[in-house]
Amino acid sequence: MRSARIGLDIKILGGLFLIFGTVDLVVIALFPAYAFKLFGVAVAGPSSYLIKLHSPAVHLLIGYGFLWLRPWAWGLSLAYAGFGLVSETMNQLSFGFHPVRSAFMATTMLFAAYIVRRRALFMDEMPTTTHDTQVSEETH
């Protein structure tokens, strides 16, 4: 399986994250009054603009890291998946059940499981076995 060796699947996900990050930026710019729901609280007003920018920033970072198979991207993606799951759980409890939130939670869990399974791609160096040659000591 060639994609398993070069990580084409993860690189495609990286490209998608770059697209998501860009779309996030456009949505924030087009709808600045949108009340972002985070951890069961609807964040609105001018100060919410900075809070909303965390999403595209993290999506763009994960996208870059996945494209280049950076080791830090693996941890960042799982941490952000956990962040999203906790936030959406609290949103469900605060704002009521919503099928889109539930679908997001299910796909995030599947994504996290897949990324855990592909962890080896994000390692700095693949372990290699080297055989040291023995140098005999010569006495003069």
**pTM listed for this prediction:** 0.79
Question: What is the dihedral sign for C-alpha 44, 45, 47, 50?
Answer: positive
Distance between CA 78 and CA 112 in Å, rounded?
Answer: 6
For helices 8-30 and 54-67, angle between their N-to-C axes, nearest 10 degrees: 160
Q: What is the mean pLDDT of the chain?
A: 86
87 contact partners, CB below 8 Å, separation of at least 6: 37, 38, 39, 40
Q: What is the pLDDT of residues 38-63, one digit of tens each?
A: 898 888 877 788 888 999 999 999 99
For helices 71-95 and 99-117, angle between their N-to-C axes, nearest 10 degrees: 160
19 contact partners, CB below 8 Å, separation of at least 6: 63
Q: Helix (H, G, I), strand (E, B), or coil: what is residue 41?
A: strand
Residues in the chain: 140
- What average pLDDT does range 58-83 have in this prediction? 96
pLDDT score recorded for residue 126: 52
